[in-house]
Structure 1
């Protein structure tokens, strides 16, 4: 299958997931008309999405999966969703990183995509609790045999989660003793009421430590994360400086974000939005005392 065909399949499946979530369910014949493809193609897409656990197949169509607030998808399941959006977000977020800075990357598939963009930026110090992110930098160093200018990577210890993040007291102590310029934070869910949340209690505490140790907090999250609420909140929107997302974020969500954050960056769109007088990337006072 060609790259263009893979991209079309990804786009179709993203549209199907959006339709299912927005309408509470869709029928195969509705999708064939909307997408301009055959019944067989739609059924294959639904099979793929059902295997990822993001929709539930029913007779003649699909409905949303009812997830408990404690449900935590694995890394592989999440990595198959919103691929184009994550790549766009990663490119936009990488443009915020200057050579020679100390940054932190949390776990997640979007920060994993970002890590691939950051390997070309010189003299970074990277703190991460993600095994996957650390592996990206390690593989880049092996492939290029770089010494001078290569990133210095600090991987925290801890207990591994289904999303391949390291959490718990060991990770918390390591992060609490460090101070970094910018934190790039992937999230399970984001909303105006619950802020940033995760279904994993230990991960919530580790994420709190990451936020406390950062001068600036940049959340990298595609539009499907908006309105999702996990078991435990670990930060309010007011603790976030910048949200980098994709063009699928609804207008009403953009308005809510812009009222609370210094900056909203929509990948693929020029400019940023934020409260009047706010400077893009301004320090929100997250630096630890």
Structure 2
């Protein structure tokens, strides 16, 4: 296959899936890692994809743009792992927690598989799948129903009604963006409603958001900054942003 043909197919995959990983493309096309990276660089130079660590994603530009789960999973992977590790330390055994949809919460789910006696409420298909595959008899997973979004969240009235009947100790929530004027936001109106129901059902709100979410604003607000009991972000966050967030959220945690 010629490089131009391969790049065309890769571009179509990014548009369809929202993002691709280098390793997956290597296996798909049977070429070297370096060849795929050159392909992604060529596409990025033409303004067709956004090249990120480990792969490429679509270009987001608007408040309603919603990248797919695969696209977001390859972005800021190291930061998400650091944030998830700090979040996991907040979960004692035998508690009821909620995990909203998102790639950071999905990484967190993988770190909670060995915590005994957990009850986990989630509207995330990948999060529920991670716990189901662990097959722990002492853990209970409640997956809400609803309409599936590009970020693999289950949203809508069925999800909201299910969540309203529950009470959990801690909600770990991922967000699309955060700013002083808009608070914590999402590009999906129905997902915002479902996330607001999760916030209302929780005694404590822990937001997990890497530094790239700062000053990014989605169309719908989930909660104000001061609603977060804890915000866990990473050391890439600017000093100015830390100062602003430190006066708004209950506790600001910086993961190295």
TM-score band, normalised by the shorter chain? 0.7 to 0.9
Q: Which residue of structure 2 lines up, in the alignment, with residue 70 of structure 1? A: 64
Q: Which residue of structure 2 lines up, in the alignment, with residue 237 of structure 1? A: 225
Deviation at 1:267, TM superposition (A): 1.1
Q: Does 1:108 find its partner at 2:96?
A: no
Q: Secondary structure of the residue that 2:247 maps to in structure 1?
A: helix
Q: Secondary structure of the residue that 2:78 maps to in structure 1?
A: helix
Q: Residues 46, 221 of structure 1: CA spacing in aligned structure 2 closer, same or farther, 3 A cutoff?
A: farther
CA distance in 1, matches of 2:44, 2:208: 23
Alignment of 1:96-245 (within 5 A): 96-141=90-135, 146-147=136-137, 150-245=138-233
Q: Which residue of structure 1 lines up, in the alignment, with residue 50 of structure 2? A: 54
Indicate conservation of the 8 Å contact 2:40/2:51, yes or no: no
Deviation at 1:140, TM superposition (A): 1.1
Deviation at 1:48, TM superposition (A): 7.5
Deviation at 1:54, TM superposition (A): 3.5
CA distance in 2, matches of 1:104, 1:52: 37
Indicate conservation of the 8 Å contact 1:52/1:80, yes or no: no
CA distance in 2, matches of 1:253, 1:230: 18
Q: Residues 194, 55 of structure 1: CA spacing in aligned structure 2 closer, same or farther, 3 A cutoff?
A: farther
Deviation at 1:67, TM superposition (A): 1.1
Indicate conservation of the 8 Å contact 2:183/2:224, yes or no: yes
Q: Does 1:85 find its partner at 2:79?
A: yes
Q: Which residue of structure 1 lines up, in the alignment, with residue 234 of structure 2? A: 246
Q: Which residue of structure 2 lines up, in the alignment, with residue 261 of structure 1? A: 249
Where does structure 1 differ by over 4 angstroms across 4 or more consecutive aligned residues? 40-45, 47-53
Q: Which residue of structure 1 lines up, in the alignment, with residue 88 of structure 2? A: 94
CA distance in 2, matches of 1:45, 1:243: 34
Indicate conservation of the 8 Å contact 2:185/2:223, yes or no: yes
CA distance in 2, matches of 1:261, 1:120: 30
Q: Residues 259, 118 of structure 1: CA spacing in aligned structure 2 closer, same or farther, 3 A cutoff?
A: same
CA distance in 2, matches of 1:113, 1:130: 12
Indicate conservation of the 8 Å contact 2:97/2:170, yes or no: yes
Deviations 1:131-187 (A, max 9, x none): 00000001111xxxx42xx32000000100000000000000000111100000000
**Alpha-carbon RMSD:** 2.3
Deviation at 1:111, TM superposition (A): 0.2
TM-score (norm 1): 0.70
Indicate conservation of the 8 Å contact 1:86/1:113, yes or no: yes
CA distance in 2, matches of 1:249, 1:81: 15
Q: Please list every run of 5 or more consecutive structure 2 residues that lacks an aligned counterpart in the other structure.
A: 1-34, 53-57
Deviation at 1:252, TM superposition (A): 0.7
